[in-house]
Every structure is written in structure tokens, then in C-alpha cells.
Amino acid sequence: MAGTMGRMYIGTSGLQANQNAINTTAHNLTNLNTEGYSRQQVLLKDLAYQKLGYTKTGINQTGLGTKVDQTRTTRDHFLDNKYRLQNARQTYYSSKAGVISEVEEFFGETQGSTFQDYMKNLWNAMQEVQKTPNGFVERTALVATAGSFIDRANEIYSQLVNYQKSLNDEIQDQADEINRLAKKIYDLNQQIMKYEAGDLEAANDYRDARNQALDELSSLISIEIREQPNGTVNVYAEEHLLVSDDRTFDIATRPVEEGSDLLTVYWKADDTDVFNLKRISVAGDNSDAGSLKGLLSARGDYTPDYTDIPLRENFGTEADYQSALLNYNRTLSNRDVSALIAQFDQLIHGMVTQINDVLCPNTTVTDINGNTYTILDTERAGKGFGDGNEVQGTELFSRKGYERYREETITVLDENGTPQTKTVMVYNEEDPNDYYSLYTLGQITVNDVLVKNPALLPLTKINGEEYQNVADDLLELWNKDFATLDPNTLVPNDYNNYYATMVGDYANKGYTYQGIADKQAVMVNEVNNQRQEVVGVASDEELTNLIRYQHAYNASSRYITVVAEMIEHIIEKLGA
């Protein structure tokens, strides 16, 4: 009789197991369109067996029902990791492309008036001066056009610098979002660990929420995930522990260096930088990952000037030049906005100094003590036109608060070797360590003396005749090779070609980054589709499962009914 009554539990276990399966299937259907949800599966197994004895071929036993072995999510961790890596690379290049797209607007290349128009206007003004060097109207127009040219250059420079600073807000927001997601993942870790501590059921919904948070985190920073035996995950970001079993490691922002207006990100726990942007990437090292790194890489660490582009002639040895070139490639060449600022400053510096050197030519002299001076070459320099304007050494472009020359008295030897004391105009050299001594954007202006009196332009000979050679040389500057775009290129350019190459190279970077981002987006979509084939809920399949489990439930119910009727029949017969 006990064996007969025990058969009731077989049906009861079937009811319980299939009811659980029906509930899980209903849960899948309910979350059919829930983002981040993973399809759940119920796995059944035999509950236990009752040994009845032995036979010649084995054990004679009977089953005592079924039970739920586990309710699992159908995730492929290989696809998850692949998705997060490709997603991180996609956002890296997308953020860099976005920065370039915004910066391109500053030069007006997609609008009506471009900076090249201002360059053309300056050339036209010089062309008119060449026709009539002593013409007051022509000189006035040249000074005014030069003013518009340098004002527009300074305006673009200011926009670039302000844009660099404006990225601080986005960098701060992304750093805060990384910390928020890390805290969320940590909290979900604790929930999962508590829920699964009894090893009775998997915390699948919590795991789905954690996986979705990890997907979001992967778009911001490169991550590596290591699951622990207790169900938690340790998350490493840029090879640094971000989420552990017992805490999170926050990142924060601070100035790149003391006095800098630009922010960088660092680990609060050990005060180290999150990213090593000076590391030169190689193919396949997956260092190009995460939108935060993309922003920092596109922005750069500082606001450079033309002195940050190494020129071979400025170095005494090849070893010194190669060292400077390596530093340039590590700190500037792959920083899109910073590199553009340096290249643009190199163009303006070159134009300004070469124009000034034509108007105010220099020469070198050595005094009796062996000291060498760069001074105004009074034999080649022109003068202003008109009475009272016979002044040499009046430059067109000036450094704010920094005169071109200073007056000094030196003693030199004349042709006969006799000491001779004379007063000269010594050129105030540019010093890379003194910002105010540089002809650099933000520091250059049109000479205020010429704005007040354009007749002072040194285009006149001592005898009052037009200094045609000087006017010709000004115009000839536009036909000469000026500089290469950066040390990694070998082709020199004149002013116009340099500007066109600079803008074209920058635009090509944007196209390249956007092209990579688009290809990565396709790959991300493909991998995600593969993931959805595994984790996605298919309504037709779930409805089929629902019918199957319902039939099994009904079968268990019918089994119980049959057993009950059998027991009732036995009791009635025995009672009779």
C-alpha cells in the first residue's frame, strides 16, 4: 500500500516541474521586447529511483518522479566578449570622428566664407601694392586686409582652444557614468551572490541586468570580465581593477598638469592615469577602445604651438632630432585637435615671420668680444613714404607687448680692423620658453603703428622712390615652398598648398575614423544578431514550449487522477 501511495508523488512532482516550466515560458513571453533580457530555459532531471532488487542484467528500480535541475539563461560568453570589444572600438572611432566633424566647421570649409578666402584677399592686397608700392590707398588696404587675416586666424585659434576646453564636460560626464555603472554592477553582484547562495535557483534577471550594464560600460572604456565561483564578476578597465568582490575603484578627473585648463582621468585609489596615451598603438593590440579614450585622444593633452613641431635644422645632431620626432609622434601626431592647432600655427607663424623679414630684413654682426647679434639690415631695409615717415624696421605683424627690435650700442671692427662704436637695432629673438616672444596665434596682431599710419610701411627707398624689389619679394613668398605639414611627410608646400593639405588631411582623418566606425557598427550589429539568436525570445518557439509543458502538466494531472481512482477502488474492495 505504501508503494501505491508513493506513486502519487510521481504525479505531484510532474505537476510542480511543469508548472515551473510554464511560469518560466510565460516569463519569457512577457519579456519578449525587454531590452537586455535573455531567454530562460528549464532543465528537468529525474528526482530519484527506488531500488526493487537485482536481476541478471542489472538493478531493478523504478523512478519516483522529476524535478527542475536548473533554470538557466541561454548566453554565449564568447559572443558577449566579442560584442563588447567591437562595441568599444566602434565608440572609440565614432567619438574621434565626431570631434573632427565639429572642428571642421571652424575653418568654414562647409560654409560660404573659408579661411582660404582671407589668404586670397591678403595676396590680392599685396598684388595691388606691387603695382604701386608708394600708393597710400594700396598701403592702407594691405594693412586693413592683414588685420582681417590675422583677426580671423586668431578667431579660429580661439575656437579650437575653447573647443578643447568644452570637451572637459563630456569627459567628466563619461567618467561619472563609468563610476555609476561600476557601482550598479557591484550592487548586482551582491544581489546575485545572496540569491544564489543556497544553490537553489539562478538569479537570471539580475544577471541580465548586469550583462546590460557591462554592455553599456564597454562603450565607454575597454573592459575585461572574469566571473568568480560565487557568481560575481570582477571587471578590469584598461588593465586596472574596476569592480571586485568587495568594492569598486572610482575614476576622477583633474587637470593634465598644474595650471592646465584640460582635464584627464585617473584612478583615485592609486593616483595613476587611467590611459597611457603616449603608448604607440600597434595593429591588433585593441588599444583603440572606448569613447572616453577616443575623446582624450582626439582632444590632446595640451594646446601646442608651432614650436612643438620639430624641424631638423633646429637640432644639432640627428639623434636629438629623432628623439624629438619620437616625442612628437607620442604626444601630438595622433592628437587630432592638438595636431591641427600646431599645424595651423606653423602656417600663420611662417607667413607672418616671412612677410616681416621681407619688410624688415635682418643681418648678423659680431662685436669685438666675439658676441653675435641679429640686427636690422639698414642697407636693405626700406622706409616709410612721406615727410616724417622715413622710418626703417616697421613690421606688418607684431607680437603683443613685444617690440621687434631694441636699440643697443656695440663696438665692431671696420674694414680696416679699427674698432668702431655704433648704435644698432637688435632683433628680439623668439624664445620657445617665452610665450610672449613668439609669433604665435593669440599673440600676433597687426602693428598698431601701421594701423594709425599705413604710410610707414617700409616700401620706399631712401631717395623716396618705390622699393619695387621689396614689393616683388612679398608677392614671391606665395610661390615658394614653405614647409611640410608635419615631420612625417617629405613634400614641402607653399602657403596655399599647405593650407589645402592641412584641411584635406584633417578631413581624411574624419572620413577614415567614420569609415572604421561604420564598419565596426556593422560588425557590432552582426555579433549582436548572433547573440540574439542565442538569447532572444522567439514567440513561436515559446508558444510551442507552452503547449508542450501544458500537455505534460495535464498528463501529470491525469496520472494523479488514475492513481487516486485506483487507490479508491482498492480501499472500497478491501472495505467490502
Q: How sure is the predictor about 161, in pLDDT bands with cuts at 50, 70 and 90?
A: very high
Is 502 part of any domain? no
Question: Cell 570649409, residue?
Answer: 109
Residue 160 lies in a domain: no
Q: What is the pLDDT of residues 335-364, one digit of tens each?
A: 899 999 999 999 999 999 999 999 999 999
Q: What is the pLDDT of residues 221-264, one digit of tens each?
A: 999 999 888 889 999 999 899 999 889 999 999 999 888 899 99
- Please give the tally of structural domains in the chain: 1
The answer to whether position 11 is within a domain reads: yes
Domain that holds residue 30: 2-74+536-575
Residue 33 in any domain: the answer is: yes
pTM of the prediction?
A: 0.84
d(CA 422, CA 281): 58
Is 561 inside a domain boundary?
Answer: yes
Would you state the cell numbers that stand for residue 534, as one nine-digit string? 542565442
Question: How many residues would you count in the chain?
Answer: 576
Closest C-alpha to 527, from 34, 85, 2, 8: 85
pLDDT for residue 2 is more than 50: no
pLDDT, average across residues 509-519? 92
Pairwise CA distance, residues 41 & 199, whole Å: 17
275-316 pLDDT, tens digit per residue, is 988 776 654 567 889 999 999 999 999 999 999 999 888 888
Report yes or no on 552 lying in a domain. Answer: yes
Examine residue 64 and state whether it is found in any structural domain, yes or no: yes
Q: Is 272 contained in some domain?
A: no
CB-based contacts of 77, cutoff 8 Å, min separation 6: none
